[in-house]
Structure 1
Amino acid sequence: MARVFALIDANSFYCSCEKAFQPALRDRPVVVLSNNDGCAISRSAEAKALGVEMGDAWHLVHRRPELRDVAWFSSNYTLYGDMSRRIFQVLCEHVPHVEPYSIDEMFLDLTGMPQPIPELCADLREAVDRITKIPTCVGAGPTKVIAKLANRLAKKDPTMNGVCDLTQESVRAALYPHLPVGAVWGIGRAQEARLQSMGANTIADFVRLPARMVRQAMSVTGARLQAELQGVSCLPLSETVPSPKGITVSRSFGRPVDTYSDLREAVCAHMTRAGEKLRAQGLQAETVTVFIMTNPRDTGPLRYSAQLNRTIEPTSSTFELIREATTLLNAMWRGGRSYFKAGIMLGGLSPAGSSNQLLSVRNPRSEAASKVMDALNARFGRGTVIPLSSGIKRTWSPRSSMLSRRYTTSIEEMLTVR
């Protein structure tokens, strides 16, 4: 039986999440900003039409007369993450296998589905829109790379009504000569230039290249891309989410931090969040890294950045991780400076409990306390119980002056109906 993959991708996902709970924004231009309300990271179609570019700095563009009707929002990752989960749940109710690829993209296995592919993809879009109010586009093909290409075409061509079906070889043969090789998922600018120097300007040219030449120019990765574009599936759908190689939490401060207590509080808060992520995935960490830096635009003797790491006994305890991070911070701290950013990284990840517990010197009560903290926060909302060292007021927190409500995860912020 021929394999059929699909990729469903939310349109301007962060902006769509904001519009889903505010009907008054339905036809308004919307822009979501990066941490610290810095620059544009998501733009609705209306905002793009007004000339808002990805990466535009808010403080430079928000006063432009043509942008007076734009609704600007601070990043609300709690809302976006939960909306992504809801889309996943909707899709799992309609197709047998779903693989999250990113927060707003998911691969689907449609092999053997009785419904014609274009109709099935249209129904999936409708189901997601009905339940979550998030608009999407769907591309289908015999391989993941072709499905990704089909999704790209569905987003760019409004006449396709959000669905592009490239499962038929004849359809692909008609399109490939008109599509640049750079449109292929996994081919960046450098590789595109190299392929063009070999005479491959279009996808059709790339598919016709001798496999030996492609492998020499792009290694095994290029060989797989070429095979996938030829309809040979080399990238199966993963039914389990791969374990991350590391966990990083970092933020630029909302104001310059010049005291040790504030800097320590920020590092502890970042480690608290990392510990939550670690336990949610059933993992433990073996290395801890802490980094701090002043503003990179600063010049002179007060400019400073430092990073230290150490190997520890594997643990998932927030309290143990905070202790290790504080030790590293103590060694890096230099007074008389204004710090711009701090972050932590956890590495050497492995399944929790996989190390030799008989030789452990860790206090088992510390691990248990972390799990109790997770349970209370899951029941009553994140941040209900936190280590005191991670701070209460957090005056250093990133600016979020335009933050929307956490409509789906905080009972105090849910919509009310009269």
Structure 2
Amino acid sequence: MIGLIDCNNFYVSCERVFNPRLDGRPVGVMSNNDGCVIARSNEIKPLVKMGAPAFQLQQLVRSGQIHLVSSNYELYGDMSRRVQSVLEEYTPEVEPYSIDEMFAHFHGFTPAALLEHARELHHKVRQYTGIPVCVGVAPTRTLAKLANRAAKKIDGYGGVCVLNAGSAELKGILQRTPLDDIWGVGGRLRERLAVMGLRTAWDLAQQDHKAIKRKFSTTLERTVIELQGKPAIDMNDPSEGRQRIMTSRSFGRLTESKAEIHEAIRQHGQRSAEKLRSQDSLARAVMVFLKTNRHRPDLPQYSPSIVVELAHPTDDSREILHAASHALEEIYRPHYRFMKAGVMLLDLIDANRQQLSLLDTPQSGAERERSHKLMATLDELNKKMGRGTVKLGTPSPGAAWHLRCAHRTPRWTTRWEEIPKIS
């Protein structure tokens, strides 16, 4: 069985952990350089649309109707790591899907024991981190997504939903789930399926997956197989969507060499940036993680991760590698033998719909254009001559990492000088 653990209103929840006065208040989190609203509490949703420019909301802020804070990716990344560490107490197989969602594998449980296990996990994450979560468990990732949605939307589940293969409960949820609520099924695909008389997840699950592949794609075929209760989607499947892009690989041998690990991070960062550009997306943040071998209890264990905020949404390999290098400097510790490293690009947005900053100048616009041309040339050369023909070395030091974050809360968990003080 596979579980999906989704942190509720994650960015806002992180802020509320250290500022309980925000509980119950309409709270929004702003994007890089305080440009627009990128995360909302339930209370602010009737008042503020996603992506609303922050400058248009100042009257609501001054009147006390809403509360806006600057994005604090260092805090969010650390809180995500803490949530993951709690999950790893309940299962050794945890797969981050995004900064606020993680898949977990559960083996050897009876249905009753698994439900109790999931409820205990749900409680402990909130108790140990302060972050509220919903837990959905099912035989496949696609069904786990639906179970998580049910746990979140249906009060009777209390935040935890376990769907067993072939159960009447699973059938009922599939029959009540419209096609566009299925993971990976978008509006255009829904319209084409509607022409065939398919309206719900149950309708799609009854189809022959080979026929679906012939009419549509391998991606939709996998969705059908997953709806039928058989795993078909891998964690690193390129068709997973645009929430995040991850590139990682186990080393050929254990290493504690910082130079070797840095080289791996550079390779993964460049590959992630290529994937980002290929799907016309931009990233707002970069996560870097390292892993030691948990199957070697004779060796010291250390599996850190960190999120670094980018100065602005970007697909430029140079900026992504600079952030990844900065992240490695923060988390690397000597005397640990690492077996794996990875780079994850987070908070992706459509490159064709990005919101420009009010601080943009002709110079910054020209720089974006130069960046676009450079990356396009790099991709074209690698396409013609073979991947990796043109590579970037170690980014030059000295770039400005301090952003305009006029309303950023303290980085409570990662900075000694910002640790909470009790008087």
TM over 0.5: yes
Q: Distance in 1 between matches of 2:412 and 2:29?
A: 16
Show the counterpart of 1:412. Answer: 417
Show the counterpart of 1:46. Answer: 43
The answer as to 2:22 corresponding to 1:20 is: no
Q: Distance in 2 between matches of 1:252 and 1:276?
A: 16
Show the counterpart of 2:272. Answer: 246
| Structure 1 SS opposite 2:211 | helix
TM-score by length of 1: 0.68
Per-residue Cα deviation, 1:270-299 (whole angstroms, up to 9, x for no partner): 764242357767589xxxxxxxxxx79999
| Structure 1 SS opposite 2:44 | helix
- Map 1:5-16 onto structure 2 (within 5 A): 5-16=2-13
Match of 2:175 among 174, 177, 186: 177
Match of 1:111 among 107, 110, 113: 107
Per-residue Cα deviation, 1:335-358 (whole angstroms, up to 9, x for no partner): xxxxxxxxxxxxxxxxxxxxxxxx
Show the counterpart of 1:35. Answer: 32
| Structure 2 SS opposite 1:242 | strand
The answer to whether the Cα contact below 8 Å between 1:100 and 1:106 also exists between their aligned partners in 2 is yes
Q: Distance in 2 between matches of 1:81 and 1:5?
A: 23
Per-residue Cα deviation, 1:225-261 (whole angstroms, up to 9, x for no partner): 10110111123568x97354234775349xxxxxxxx
- Map 1:220-259 onto structure 2 (within 5 A): 220-235=218-233, 242-243=248-249, 244=268, 245-247=271-273, 251-252=311-312
**1:276 is aligned with what amino acid?**
H
Q: Distance in 2 between matches of 1:135 and 1:152?
A: 14
1:403–1:9: structure 2 CA closer, same or farther, 3 Å change rule?
A: same
Show the counterpart of 1:353. Answer: none
Name the count of aligned residue pairs. Answer: 320
**Larger displacement relative to structure 2 (162-171 or 196-205):** 162-171
Match of 1:192 among 166, 170, 190: 190
Match of 1:133 among 130, 137, 141: 130
Measured after TM superposition, the shift of residue 218 of structure 1 is 2.7
- Unmatched segments (≥5 aa) in structure 2: 237-245, 250-267, 274-282, 286-309, 333-339, 344-355, 379-387
Measured after TM superposition, the shift of residue 402 of structure 1 is 0.5
Q: Distance in 2 between matches of 1:113 and 1:67?
A: 53
| Structure 1 SS opposite 2:199 | coil
Q: Distance in 1 between matches of 2:319 and 2:227?
A: 46
Q: Distance in 2 between matches of 1:268 and 1:232?
A: 41
Show the counterpart of 2:82. Answer: 86
Show the counterpart of 1:276. Answer: 326
| Structure 2 SS opposite 1:95 | coil
Measured after TM superposition, the shift of residue 110 of structure 1 is 1.3
The answer to whether the Cα contact below 8 Å between 1:17 and 1:83 also exists between their aligned partners in 2 is yes
| Structure 2 SS opposite 1:390 | coil
Measured after TM superposition, the shift of residue 33 of structure 1 is 0.8
The answer to whether the Cα contact below 8 Å between 2:136 and 2:147 also exists between their aligned partners in 1 is yes
**Larger displacement relative to structure 2 (111-120 or 54-63):** 111-120
The answer to whether the Cα contact below 8 Å between 1:275 and 1:316 also exists between their aligned partners in 2 is no
Match of 1:390 among 399, 403, 408: 399
- Unmatched segments (≥5 aa) in structure 1: 254-265, 285-294, 323-386
The answer to whether the Cα contact below 8 Å between 1:109 and 1:237 also exists between their aligned partners in 2 is no
Show the counterpart of 1:202. Answer: 200
Show the counterpart of 1:378. Answer: none
1:301–1:105: structure 2 CA closer, same or farther, 3 Å change rule?
A: closer
Per-residue Cα deviation, 1:380-418 (whole angstroms, up to 9, x for no partner): xxxxxxx3x325xx7xx5431110000000000011234
**1:220 is aligned with what amino acid?**
T
Q: Distance in 1 between matches of 2:318 and 2:247?
A: 28
- Map 1:366-385 onto structure 2 (within 5 A): none
Show the counterpart of 1:341. Answer: none
Show the counterpart of 2:404. Answer: 399
Per-residue Cα deviation, 1:89-122 (whole angstroms, up to 9, x for no partner): 1110122311111101011111213662222211
**1:187 is aligned with what amino acid?**
V
Q: Distance in 2 between matches of 1:302 and 1:15?
A: 31
Show the counterpart of 1:382. Answer: none
| Structure 2 SS opposite 1:16 | helix
Identity %: 34
The answer to whether the Cα contact below 8 Å between 1:99 and 1:107 also exists between their aligned partners in 2 is yes
**Larger displacement relative to structure 2 (93-102 or 266-275):** 266-275
| Structure 1 SS opposite 2:12 | helix
The answer to whether the Cα contact below 8 Å between 1:75 and 1:400 also exists between their aligned partners in 2 is yes
Q: Please, what is the CA RMSD of the aligned residues?
A: 3.5
| Structure 2 SS opposite 1:223 | helix
Per-residue Cα deviation, 1:31-82 (whole angstroms, up to 9, x for no partner): 101112111111112222x432211121113424897332211000000000
Show the counterpart of 1:308. Answer: 374
| Structure 1 SS opposite 2:216 | helix
The answer to whether the Cα contact below 8 Å between 1:150 and 1:165 also exists between their aligned partners in 2 is yes
The answer to whether the Cα contact below 8 Å between 1:278 and 1:316 also exists between their aligned partners in 2 is no
TM-score by length of 2: 0.67
Show the counterpart of 2:259. Answer: none
The answer to whether the Cα contact below 8 Å between 2:28 and 2:44 also exists between their aligned partners in 1 is yes
The answer to whether the Cα contact below 8 Å between 2:39 and 2:50 also exists between their aligned partners in 1 is yes
The answer to whether the Cα contact below 8 Å between 1:283 and 1:316 also exists between their aligned partners in 2 is no
**2:75 is aligned with what amino acid?**
L
Measured after TM superposition, the shift of residue 160 of structure 1 is 1.9
The answer as to 2:163 corresponding to 1:166 is: yes
The answer to whether the Cα contact below 8 Å between 1:408 and 1:414 also exists between their aligned partners in 2 is yes
Q: Structure 1 runs of 4+ off > 6 angstroms?
A: 266-270, 278-281, 295-303
